[in-house]
Amino acid sequence: MPTLVIKLENVWKVYQLGKVELTALKGINLEVTPGAFVTIMGPSGSGKSTLLNMIGCLDVPTKGKVFLKGKDISQLSETQLSQLRGKTIGFVFQEFNLLPNLDALENVALPMVFQGASLEERIKKAKELLASVGLEERIYHQPAELSGGERQRVALARAFANDPEVVIADEPTGNLDSTTGKKIMEVLTDFHKREGKTIVVVTHDPNIASYSEEVVNIKDGQIIVNHREAAQVLWSK
């Protein structure tokens, strides 16, 4: 059996909001197998973003363990974790989260900078990636000069920059109209199918879920349904 990309083991997350304790995750167990396309669904306030932060190793659980490629992240130093996260996980955010001062090419190349790739390598790869999302004409444009859909495509290209094993997308179409959103999902699905990459998407949009093979429903910090089996049904559409 191949190593799980990400494994969550009885993960709890408790936020201290003044005197009030807010439990966002209540004993979550989740396994993301290599090559899977997982959608996490739930209403707002259900804890899905918190869960995504755990899966993306952006946050540490209050209790329980998170394994990234079999390694317990609580055992890693912050530097080791950044390095591993940068190499293993690509992020796509709802607000695109591009660096406003850098142009499209530089934004896509940035994750490679942190992995110590050479300038040549970075430019070549970033250009290829931008071309693959159909932005070869816009590589020297700054985010402010791009439309929402274009920005998200840049963000997608950036997520794939370090050839990660898993791409985590947080409401990737949330700020886009449905046509643009559909295109973005097509790019993402295409990457998944062509490269066999693992994709984890958080959304509350059932249309998005229809692209995936596995749907995890979360409510009040707990997984209520794991539609692994339902995948076939959804996918056949």
Partner 1 sequence: MEQIKEYFHIAVRSIKTRSLRSWLTILGIVIGVFLIISLLSLSEGIKQTINQQLRSLGGEMIFVMPGDISNIMAMFTSGTKLEKEDIEAIERTRGVETVLTMSYQSLVARHGDEGKTVFMSGLSWEKGIEIMEKFQGWSLKEGEWPTPGKRELVIGSQVETEVFEKPVKMGSEIIIKGRRFKVVGILNSLGSKQDDSSFYLDLSLYQDLTGEKRGTAQMAMVKVKDGSDVNKVAEDIKENLLETRKRRVGTDVADFSVITSEKMGDIAGSIMAVIQFAIVAFAGIAIIVGGIGIMNTMFTSVRERTREIGIMKAIGAKNSAVLTIFLIEAGIIGFLGGIGGTFLGTVLAKSIEMYGQVHPLFYFSASITPGLIIFGLVFSFVVGCLAGFFPARQAAKLRPVEALRRYE
The verdict on 181 binding partner 1 (CB under 8 A) reads: no
- Looking at 37-45, 98-106, 191-199, 222-230, which segment touches partner 1 (CB under 8 A)? 98-106
The verdict on 86 binding partner 1 (CB under 8 A) reads: yes
The verdict on 132 binding partner 1 (CB under 8 A) reads: no
- Which CB, 33 or 115, lies closer to partner 1? 115
The verdict on 116 binding partner 1 (CB under 8 A) reads: yes
Q: How far apart are CA 105 and CA 117, in angstroms?
A: 15
- Looking at 90-98, 123-131, 192-200, 224-232, which segment touches partner 1 (CB under 8 A)? 90-98
- Looking at 112-120, 190-198, 205-213, 222-230, which segment touches partner 1 (CB under 8 A)? 112-120
Residue 211, phi-psi category: left (phi > 0), alpha (psi -120 to 50), beta (remainder): alpha
Q: How far apart are CA 41 and CA 105, in angstroms?
A: 32
Binding mask 54-83 for partner 1 (x = CB under 8 A): --x-xx------------------xx--xx
Q: How far is the CB of 8 from partner 1 (least distance, A)?
A: 15
- Looking at 95-103, 123-131, 199-207, 225-233, which segment touches partner 1 (CB under 8 A)? 95-103
- Could you tell me how many residues of this chain bind partner 1 (CB under 8 A)? 33
Q: How far is the CB of 139 from partner 1 (least distance, A)?
A: 16
- Write the CA distances from 181 to 16, 134, 139, 147, 150, integer angstroms: 35, 15, 21, 12, 11
| Alpha carbon of residue 215 to chain centroid | 15
- Looking at 33-41, 64-72, 93-101, 210-218, which segment touches partner 1 (CB under 8 A)? 93-101
Contact with partner 1 (CB under 8 A): which of 44, 118, 179, 236? 118
What tokens appear for 26 in the block? 């209540």
Bridge partners of residue 91, in order along the sequence: 168
Site for partner 1 in 146-175 (CB under 8 A): 158, 161-162
User: 164 and 55 in contact (C-beta within 8 Å)?
Assistant: no
Residue 196, phi-psi category: left (phi > 0), alpha (psi -120 to 50), beta (remainder): left
- Which CB, 1 or 144, lies closer to partner 1? 144
Q: How far apart are CA 145 and CA 98, in angstroms?
A: 12
Q: Is 75 exposed, middle or buried (0-12, 13-18, 19+ CB in 10 A)?
A: exposed
Q: How far apart are CA 202 and CA 183, in angstroms?
A: 17
Residues that bind partner 1 (CB under 8 A): 53, 56, 58-59, 78-79, 82-83, 85-87, 90-91, 93, 95, 97-102, 106, 110-111, 113-116, 118-119, 158, 161-162
